[in-house]
Amino acid sequence: MVITVSNKKIKVKVKVRKLKILNIILCLLILYICYFIISTIINKKITNIYITGNNIISDKEIISISNLEDYPSFVLTSSNKIKKLLLQNDYIKEVEVTKKIFGKIIIKIKEKKILFKEKDTNKLVLEDKTKVDNIYSIDEVPILINTVDSSEYDYFIKKISKVDSNILLKISEFEYAKVDVDKQRFLLYMNDGNYVYITLSKIDNLNKYEEIYNSLEGKKGIIYLDSGNYFEEAK
């Protein structure tokens, strides 16, 4: 009887030991599977990058600024980090980054409006008053050919920023042309050969330039938008 009981205890212990070993193996297997799945997910790279809204800055540069050249891990790529990196570029106003399934990243860019180039400094002036080097060799922008009084400069930028971009492209040069009765008077040299006198308080009238130009039926001359609205045909 004693020997039988002892044998039973030994068999039970062996079974328990085997069960423990089996449980350990099972746990290790589960851990390995979990590790494999997590590792696969983490190492899954970005598959596609879609960029919209950029006209000045190239897709290639946006990808470079965002540190996405090597299409890194999709999971470990931070949308907020991309946004912060891109907003360090003076030309960029707003950034929206969206991560989609299957490794897709969508970057929506809103660039700052370029208002004009200062002739004396060769700097581009943006809508937020930032002055930047013309690193992108932008030529289609109006040139401010002389110096604006410091008391009027900020207001000039504020008002010009409200002019539609397609109208700004029609302007070749701005000339500060103040007179005693109007310290906010400018002469605009248009690309179509016309001249426009405007005062800053009436700058919104420039957004109607296309309509005014069409009404001239090909005539060239001076358009006065500073005091009354009338046209003086060139002789």
Q: Where are the alpha helices (DSSP H) in the chain?
A: 2-43, 59-65, 79-86, 150-160, 165-168, 209-215
pLDDT tens, position by position, 130-160: 999 999 989 889 999 999 999 999 999 999 9
Same-domain status, 6 and 89: no
Over residues 24-51, the mean pLDDT reads 83
Question: Domain limits at 118?
Answer: 114-233
Judged against a pLDDT cut of 60, whether residue 5 lies above it is answered with no
187 & 105 share domain: no
Are 118 and 148 in the same domain? yes
Do residue 34 and residue 69 come from a single domain? no
pLDDT tens across 10-25, in order? Answer: 666 667 777 888 888 8
For 33, 49, 86, 135, the CA distances from 124, given in Å and listed in that order, are 57, 30, 19, 10
Residue 67's domain is classified under what CATH number?
3.10.20.310
pLDDT for 1: 46
| Mean pLDDT to the nearest integer, 211-232 | 87
From 86, 111, 136, give the residue that closes a domain.
111
Q: Which of 103, 89, 27 is nearest to 58 (CA)?
A: 89
In a shared domain, residues 216 and 156: yes
Tell whether 104 and 122 lie within a shared domain.
no
Domain of residue 209, CATH code: 3.40.50.10960
Same domain, 32 and 93: no
The whole-number average pLDDT for the span 181-205 is: 93
Examine the domain organization and report whether 199 and 122 are in the same domain: yes
Q: For the chain, what is the domain count? A: 3
From the CB of residue 225, how many other CB atoms can be counted at a distance below 10 Å? Answer: 22
Domain shared by 133 and 103, yes or no: no
* Residue 191 and residue 97 share a domain: no
Answer whether residue 50 shows pLDDT above 70: yes
Last residue of some domain: 111, 134, 163? 111
User: Which strands, in side-by-side order, build the sheet including 92-100?
Assistant: 48-52, 104-111, 92-100
CB 170, CB 142: distance < 8 Å: no
3-state secondary structure of 191: coil
Confirm if 169 and 125 have CB atoms less than 8 A apart.
Answer: no
89 with 157, same domain: the answer is: no
Q: Which two tokens stand for residue 234?
A: 């060139």
Which has more pLDDT, 6 or 152? 152
Q: Are 94 and 147 members of one domain?
A: no
Answer yes or no: is pLDDT of 212 > 70.
yes
